Structure 1
């Protein structure tokens, strides 16, 4: 069963440009190391915080990544931008619908 990872956090003041610039390389490294990663969406909340939403093939893939994420150099480097984290949670997908052609700006 697919799992969605939700990670809410704030980044250090002045880090946004680097944080966003390093994101594509971090996601590419994450996908190489953890092939169960199906999609990733970085969102900005109204209060200035961030919510990272990652879709995983199953709970095992999500848990493996959560345990080993800092062993991937690009991921560890990207995480340095996080000033305050509310932690991560994993939720199981009970039902889903995806547009035939999902186009996301990136």
Structure 2
């Protein structure tokens, strides 16, 4: 098993609503994927686009969530606020440090 980062860069016209729906999405991910879901960070770039970093226990867990979540009714509030997706990829974590 390889810890995996899911990276998504996208547009949204309503950052306040996007952030408001984020807790619901994270709760749904915890409920649905349990220990396979390790955490998430949502950020805003200097160019105004958004970056979503999700941490998974494996590439299989990340791929499963990427397939299932966009169409899940429980996640519609968050995904409905996403406009153009510029990039989405999964990457194996080679090294990690927490301070």
The normalised TM-score by structure 2 is: 0.89
Query: Which residue is equivalent to 2:57?
Result: 57
* Residue 11 of structure 1: aligned partner: 12
Q: CA deviation at 1:21?
A: 0.9
The structure 1 segments of at least 4 consecutive aligned residues displaced by more than 3 Å after TM superposition are: none
Gaps of 5+ in 2: none
- In structure 1, the gaps of 5 or more residues are 100-106
- The CA deviation string for residues 24-80 of structure 1, in whole angstroms up to 9 with x for no partner, is 111101111122110100011000110000000111110110111134323232111
C-alpha RMSD over aligned residues: 1.3
Q: TM-score of the superposition, structure 1-length normalised?
A: 0.84
- Give the drift of 1:87: 3.5
Partner of 1:102: none
Q: Give the secondary-structure state (helix, strand or coil) at the position aligned to 1:82.
A: coil
Larger radius of gyration: 1
Distance in 1 separating the partners of 2:51 and 2:7: 7
Q: Distance between the aligned counterparts of 2:87 and 2:46, measured in 1?
A: 19
